[in-house]
Amino acid sequence: MTVQINTDNNVEGHARLKAYIAEELETALARFDDKVTRLEVHFGDENGDKSGVNDKRCLIEARPVNMQPVAVTHHADSTEKAFHGALDKIKKVLTTSFEKQKTY
């Protein structure tokens, strides 16, 4: 499973953050390792330099094998909270998608 992390100009994407995100994804989604080819994580700050409530955005797109890509978005007041919210959502979406695939 390949992990690609992207940030907009308003979010600092240093190597330590990218390593942390990649490790968290690989740990949390280890059971889908053979079913997902790539994960793309996009971080953004909706307000730029201005402060605001829930202005940090994390979008996670998963590309399952032989299925259409699925994506989730979560907004929070920090990049880390947005990431963990999106991570919880993508786990649920992938679990549901693969369970549906088994029934057909």
Share of the chain above pLDDT 90, in %: 62
- The pTM score is 0.88
What was the pLDDT predicted at 92? 96
**Residue-wise pLDDT tens digits, 20-69:** 999 999 999 999 999 999 999 999 887 766 666 778 999 999 999 989 99
pLDDT band, residue 101 (cuts 50/70/90): confident
Per-residue pLDDT, 4:
92
Domain that residue 7 falls in: 2-103
Residues 6+ apart with CB under 8 A from 88: 74
Kindly state the tokens that stand for 91: 């786990």
Number of structural domains the chain divides into:
1
CA angle centred on 4, ends 98 and 77, rounded to 5°: 90
φ and ψ at 94, to 5 degrees? -65, -40
Q: What CATH number is attached to the domain comprising 94?
A: 3.30.160.100
Q: Kindly tell me the burial class for residue 53, based on how many C-beta atoms sit within 10 Å of its own C-beta (0-12, 13-18, 19 or more).
A: exposed
